[in-house]
Structure formats: C-alpha cells, structure tokens
A and B are shown apart, each in its own frame.
Chain A
Amino acid sequence: ETGVTQTPRHLVMGMTNKKSLKCEQHLGHNAMYWYKQSAKKPLELMFVYSLEERVENNSVPSRFSPECPNSSHLFLHLHTLQPEDSALYLCASSPVVEQGAKLFFGSGTQLSVL
C-alpha cells in the first residue's frame, strides 16, 4: 500500500466512449502526476500538477484531459481514444515538485481501447 489509490484497475472502452480515470492520494502531498506505460516501453510522463496547477504538459493529445480539483485528487478524462492508447496508466504523487522528489505510485489502470 503506497497511499496512492487508482480506480478502476482495469478498463475496456470503445473508441467512441468517454471514461475517466481517478487517482487519490492520502499522503498529504502537493504534487501529482500522470504517466503512461505501453507494453515493453518506458514510462512516459503525461502531466504534472503542483497545488492543483498544471506545471507540465508533455505534448499529450487533446483526447486526454487531466483535472486536479484539489491536491488529493487527480482525474484523467478520456474521449475518442485510439487502440494505440491501450496501456497502463499510472498516477503518482510527491511532497512537492522539486529536484530529487520521491514519487509514490499507484497500481495503475490497465486500459484497453477496442
């Protein structure tokens, strides 16, 4: 148990569906992150939030829309996805966004786009 909870653990959706991934951290951290991990590829940073403000948007397609309503919750809204978006989506948090910050990851949502 890392203190970072992601739901759902598995999600299957069609290309025309709209779904949301949820992440909640119980660590009192101020920074939250979304990473994407495709099969046999390194983790790719998608978004970084610090105190509910987006500080990094790593050239992610607009079909992925993040939302951070408070420092404990992070969402990733999905719409009109492509099969190549199938991957493990990981949420992480850290005390602050800074050099050497230790990341705490959730278990991820395994997404399959049909």
Chain B
Amino acid sequence: LAKTTQPISMDSYEGQEVNITCSHNNIATNDYITWYQQFPSQGPRFIIQGYKTKVTNEVASLFIPADRKSSTLSLPRVSLSDTAVYYCLSGSSNTGKLIFGQGTTLQVKP
C-alpha cells in the first residue's frame, strides 16, 4: 500500500488560495489519489479524487504530475470554515484497506 507524506500543518488567510502537496513515491499503477476533509468531532468528508493530470470540482482542484509521485490539492479563496484537517490517500487493496495518514491541519485566519 502506498504511503503518503504531507505537511503536518499550514496557515493561511481568508481569500487566499491554499495548495497542499502530498508525496506518494511508491504509488502503484492502478492507485487513485483521494483527498478527504475532517472537522473536529466529525467523520472525514470526500473532497476530490484523481488518477492523473488535473481534476476540478466545485470545491477544489487536484493536480497530478505525469510521474504521479505527488499531488497537490488546491483550495481557491479559502474562508474560515475551511479550517480543518486534510488527508491525502493513495491506493487500497481489494479488501478496502484504505490507510489514512496524519493529515495536514489547515488554519485559516481572518
């Protein structure tokens, strides 16, 4: 299972664009890259998923370079409510063993 590495914490200000990079050097050919968001005392919430190049939805964009050894979650114009922990996940076995790392705690300041 591919292990992911991401910064433990990041600070930003309201209205800024935030980019969180995740490293997954051992990603397998058929592994997807998935990001979740978690607020305190709640379960994680799916944000975005991609395999290669760029994916965009109403919440975020995901950039994946050609070698797929890293990915970047981009949050446009963050607000205070985007303060949360963001998890990058890569790969899972056919038994559903999806491994969460320690995530990146994003603090958005006014």
**Chain A interfacial positions (CB closer than 8 Å to B):** 2, 4, 31, 33, 35, 41-43, 45, 48, 50, 55-56, 58, 88, 90-92, 94, 97-108, 110
Q: Is B5 an interface residue (CB 8 A)?
A: no
Minimum distance in angstroms from B37 CB to a CB of chain A = 11
Q: Given contacts A42-B101, A100-B34, is CB(A48)–CB(B45) below 8 Å?
A: no
Q: Across the interface, name the chain A residue whose C-beta is closest to B28.
A: A99
Contact call B34/A90, Cβ cutoff below 8 A = no
CB within 8 Å of A: which B87-110 residues: 87, 91-92, 94-103
Q: Is B30 an interface residue (CB 8 A)?
A: yes
**Chain B interfacial positions (CB closer than 8 Å to A):** 30-32, 34, 36, 41-46, 49, 87, 91-92, 94-103
Q: Top 4 nearest A-B pairs by Cβ distance?
A: A105-B43, A100-B32, A97-B96, A43-B100
Q: Is the interface of B mostly helix, strand, loop or mixed?
A: loop
B45 / chain A contacts, CB cutoff of 8 Å = 2, 105
A58 / chain B contacts, CB cutoff of 8 Å = 97
Contact call A102/B95, Cβ cutoff below 8 A = no
Q: Which of B44, B49, B94, B101 counts the most chain A CB atoms within 10 A? A: B44
Contact call A50/B42, Cβ cutoff below 8 A = no
Q: Other than the known A4-B43, A90-B44, what 11 A-B pairs have Cβ atoms closer than 8 Å?
A: A50-B96, A56-B95, A56-B96, A99-B92, A99-B94, A100-B49, A101-B98, A102-B34, A103-B46, A104-B46, A108-B41
B100 / chain A contacts, CB cutoff of 8 Å = 35, 42-43
Minimum distance in angstroms from B90 CB to a CB of chain A = 10
Compute how far the CA of A43 lies from the CA of B36 in the bound complex, rounded to whole angstroms: 12
